[in-house]
Amino acid sequence: MIDYITFGIVDNAVMIAGAFTGYEVEKMLPPKFRLGALMPIVGAGIGNACSDFLGGVAALNWELAIGTGLGCIIGLALIPVFNKKFKLNR
């Protein structure tokens, strides 16, 4: 149980620190991967993957860290699917 509490604290702390500092992960991507209007969504997904991974690392639970981080990265594949439906990138 303590693993999950530690995970949650670190996960949200990273997200809150990013929100307060205005740090934009998506601006670190190479220009060919910049997707216009979709960049805030891509940045949020990458930031979430990083904070989830770091939460697992802080909990000293590598299975949790790798599993959630990888799951978040795989979930980024849904961006083109949603974009096709909602047409955010015009």
Nearest to 49 by CA among 11, 16, 17: 11
pTM: 0.77
Domain regions of the chain by residue span: 2-26+37-86
Where is pLDDT greater, at 29 or 41? 41
- The beta-strand segments (E) located in 9-78 are none
CA distance 18 to 78: 23
| DSSP 8-state assignment for residue 29 | S
Give the angle subtended at the CA of 68 by the CAs of 50 and 64, to the nearest 5°: 110
Average pLDDT, the chain: 85
* Residue 39 pLDDT grade (very low, low, confident, very high; cuts 50, 70, 90): confident
Residue 16 has pLDDT above 60, yes or no: yes
User: Using an 8 Å Cβ cutoff, are 68 and 52 in contact?
Assistant: yes
* Residue 90 pLDDT grade (very low, low, confident, very high; cuts 50, 70, 90): low
